[in-house]
Chains A and B, each alone.
Chain A
């Protein structure tokens, strides 16, 4: 079965609203990565989290890795239309397991 679950599947927000996507694993992860795929494009690496409880920020994006290294979240503050795309998490347990992705649509 799927090792990494990601929710929600879709999220529609008004520009300026916040957005969060969550990933959950049934087993402890070695690390977790986040990717963004623009419509019609290929996945692009955003960040990797390795340590328990780690929090990293990239401008309006905040990434968290849970204490048990089984869950992670990506939070975008004050979304912009350029944030549109699908956000994937990928957990590493010997090999990479990608979440099903959260498709973000931002209305101007």
Chain B
């Protein structure tokens, strides 16, 4: 089973400032087809999660371009170029290379 480790677990950010969340996997998420099977989700308070980034770096439909995903192999990053109040919530990475799919512990982003 692949282990997913996120950091930090709590992230206070001032409005308009950038934010970065790291996710590490215990084995490479690079498939032989060349795709990286790493997704990012945001769960806003009181809501269902929603998909932000799929296959490592592809923004899901409707996701603002201030969100970006990067990384390769076992180390991945979600970047938010300018944090706004609407970005508050818990961010999760998830490996989808093999079952069981595994989520990271979550990173709680709050506004300073």
A joins B in a complex: no
